[in-house]
Amino acid sequence: MPANISHEVHHDQNNAPDQADDARPKPIEAERPMTTPDVSKRTPDAQYPMNGEAPQIRERDLIASGFQGVYQSMRFAARDGAARSLRSFTVVNQKGGFDCPSCAWPEPDGKRHIAEFCESGAKAIAWEATNKRIGPEFFAKHSVAELATHTEQWLGDQGRITEPMVLRRGSQHYEPISWPDAFAMIASEINGLASPDEAMFYTSGRASNEAAFMYQLFARQLGTNNLPDCSNMCHESSGTGLTEAIGVGKGTVSMADFRHADAIFVVGQNPGTNHPRMLTTLEEAVRNGATLVSINPLIETGLIRFKHPQSARDMFGHGTKMASLFLPVRINGDVAVFKGMMKEMLEEEGRAGGVLDRGFIEQRTLGFEEFAADIRATAWEEIVERSGVSRDLIRQAAQIAMRSKRTITCWAMGITQHENGVANVQTIVNFHLMRGQFGRPGAGVCPVRGHSNVQGDRTVGIWEKIGDKFADELDREFNFKTPRERGLDAVRGMQAMHEGRVKVFVGLGGNFLSAMADTEYGAEAFRRLKLCAQVSTKLNRNHLVTGEQALILPCRGRTERDEQASGEQFVSCENSMGVVQESRGRLTPASPHLMSETAIICHLAAATLGDRTTVDWLGCCANYDKIRDHIDQVVKGFEDYNRRVRQPGGFYLPNPVKDKQEFPTKSKKAHFFVHPIPKWDLAPGQLLMMTIRSHDQFNTTIYGQDDRYRGVYGGRHVIFMNGVDIAERKLTAGDWVDITSYYEGKTRTVKRFKVVPYEIPRGCAATYYPESNPLVALRHVAKGSNQPASKSVVITVAAAAQ
């Protein structure tokens, strides 16, 4: 029996999202019949294989990093090639070095540590810098069907792909293909389409600014805005919510602001696993006197205690106690918690005054009275019941906020990946607007991006909804007519593939199939393509689930030198706080047959567009300064790009909210929004499940089978549940269960997950992705942003068959 969510969003009419944003994909049942290519013998099941061993449950680590973090970093460096990895460690995130291919947490503006990386970064570098190689002999030995029986970790562990490979129609083995023939094959398929909109160009968040700019330019010169990217799956709700509320879709703080903050709220985020370098910043803030509040269904190790690996005081002492207050919110109870804090603030304002920044509210915002009336009308009983947090804890959090003159709120996908993800973000903005916590030192909002350049890719044009100003500048710079129609995002793109409206898929990095919701549906969609071509460094599951034909285009990694006709090149990235800086690889490429991402795009565009293009693709490939000169002319904030990016540490992009306390909305003011508290009506036996990362993982890349911060070793097929919920289902710790999800009358099931008792609110559960992504319905998305609601999955569990 499916659950229902009662949810309504009220938007200011002057700043409402366009109605197409709320449009849902067509029902799966309504799709027209398709003729599916017969590739069944070579395509795997969407159910992810286990690693062959049952996960072991032990005591979890309660201190982040320390000696264990250093040990794990060195262990991964030594596993596949210590020399290459260690050489990379000396220049990663250093001025003049390369940008870490892991998360987008910024480096310090001034002096940097000699080892400016974390355990997750060390794993990502070692994974890329491995000495292992797979070439034609490997693919001749292993069929696609046989490769599909292995785990995602095993696939990545085989090594770097050394030359272009093709899976031809009817074959079960990839075979080598030359670069010219690969480009010609893609060009032929694209040019044979009835419309450019039958092609789709996906981008992962690791592509550089230069590669991303040329990629979107290629798609738009071709005639389509079908440019989905990983933002569509992780922070689209942040961009949508912030743009509507404050006029800027990015964070509004710098690294220096954390040194000035009095209070930092970390919401729906696990920095210890997903952004470990952030812990160094948080530790410094705590030592400077900031109070740290964690709002999350799980108490995360990184926010309990942290030992800085470069501090002898920490390493040989007790480390730093991080969060002073934990609010164990129910999954998707964040609106209720923040409404509770804001209700306390309004009540205190009524008693004693001095809580609200009246001048800021009157001069720089709209909608306060309607917002305040809604907060006052919300009953405490509703707040406590739906948040799962006691009124006393909410009061303590509110008191911290009221004492703080400089507050930062950070969040990640625990906020965005819900049906009400946009509402979650705008509720946090309301919290800041009440006390004018924008545009002054130590105050602002900080959506923490996951991948290293996901923010930069969007800045330079990777977006299915092209803005008129950006399109006008492209037209002027390159003398062509940019398509203005909205293209396909990740969800709509997957549906279009499934319906046969997209026939060619080109992927610039990533593992789109595994990253997306509803893996079974996604596998069917890929099988209906005529061609998929993917720019990759290593093998992943999306290379095994293909259409009639497939290409792997192996590229150089972020750690490797990039030599082109004019000499050695560098690229640039933008971090979570709007800093653009150069990234210059130092290692010898894993194979002489590899091309850079930028070169692959330029050669593919030249082969496809021929004499129809107005762009000097090969000239741009020869010298990336030419690409940056074009970006300089097209994208606001990149003026004098080539000079400024060469400055040590790069430069900040303009941010009117942060820099001048100006809000570039249509009204020129920030907007309070009124949102109801989401209500979940779970049927008897149902739970609300969220997908999460393990500690040995970065997005869909699996480095190992352990999660020491949660006490899980040797496996990933686990489900974390409250002990009372386990007992009510007559289960015990270590039992195997099948998990079934419910949405719009449809069910989806994954098999054999081990029950792990955990400190998680009753009625809630958590599983690792991508193993549990088959449970997430593609049609279940955030209103306004169309982002998959992977943190709000209604499930039941049942004992697995023996």
Q: Residue 86 falls within a domain, yes or no? A: no
Of 685, 688, 679, the residue nearest 719 (C-alpha): 688
Same domain, 639 and 682: no
pLDDT value for 78: 64
Helix (H, G, I), strand (E, B) or coil at 663: coil
Same domain, 493 and 596: yes
Q: Residue 686 falls within a domain, yes or no? A: yes
Same domain, 592 and 618: yes
Q: Residue 118 falls within a domain, yes or no? A: no
d(CA 69, CA 752): 31
Same domain, 316 and 220: no
Query: Which of the listed residues 649, 669, 695 is the one where a domain comes to its end?
Result: 649
Residues 6+ apart with CB under 8 A from 127: 76, 80, 156, 538, 701, 703
Query: Which of the listed residues 629, 649, 669 is the one where a domain comes to its end?
Result: 649
Give the CATH number, domain containing residue 782.
2.40.40.20
Query: Which of the listed residues 417, 451, 485 is the one where a domain comes to its end?
Result: 451
Q: Residue 224 falls within a domain, yes or no? A: yes
pLDDT value for 45: 58
Same domain, 200 and 297: no
- The answer to whether the beta carbons of residues 756 and 720 sit under 8 Å apart is yes
Joined together, the tokens standing for residue 6 give 């009662």
**Structural domain harbouring 271:** 236-451
Joined together, the tokens standing for residue 506 give 């080109």
pLDDT value for 47: 66
Helix (H, G, I), strand (E, B) or coil at 669: coil
pLDDT value for 30: 32
Same domain, 565 and 503: yes
Q: What confidence tens digit (pLDDT) does each residue in 478-531 have?
A: 999 999 999 999 999 999 999 999 999 999 999 999 999 999 999 999 999 999
- In this prediction the pTM is 0.91
pLDDT value for 619: 98
| Sign of the C-alpha dihedral computed for residues 654, 655, 660 and 663 taken in this order | positive
As for how many domains the chain has, the answer is: 3
d(CA 680, CA 794): 9
Same domain, 471 and 530: yes
Q: Is 33 exposed, middle or buried (0-12, 13-18, 19+ CB in 10 A)?
A: exposed
Give the CATH number, domain containing residue 633.
3.40.50.740
Residue in the structure block whose two tokens are 């409206």? 501
Same domain, 498 and 547: yes
Same domain, 393 and 497: no
pLDDT value for 34: 37
Q: What confidence tens digit (pLDDT) does each residue in 402-413 have?
A: 999 999 999 999
Whole-angstrom CA distances from 651 to 109, 333, 371 are: 10, 38, 37
Q: DSSP letters along 476-491, please?
A: HHHTS----S----HH
pLDDT value for 25: 34
Q: Residue 661 falls within a domain, yes or no? A: no
pLDDT value for 306: 67
Same domain, 285 and 198: no
Helix (H, G, I), strand (E, B) or coil at 530: coil
d(CA 373, CA 435): 17
pLDDT, block means (10 residues), the chain with 802 residues = 32 32 34 37 59 84 62 62 63 67 71 64 81 96 94 94 97 97 98 98 93 98 97 94 97 95 95 78 93 94 71 63 93 98 97 96 98 98 97 98 98 96 98 97 92 87 95 97 97 98 96 94 96 97 95 94 96 91 91 97 98 97 98 97 94 95 97 96 96 89 89 94 98 96 96 96 97 96 97 97 80
d(CA 486, CA 590): 39
pLDDT value for 340: 98
Q: Residue 724 falls within a domain, yes or no? A: yes
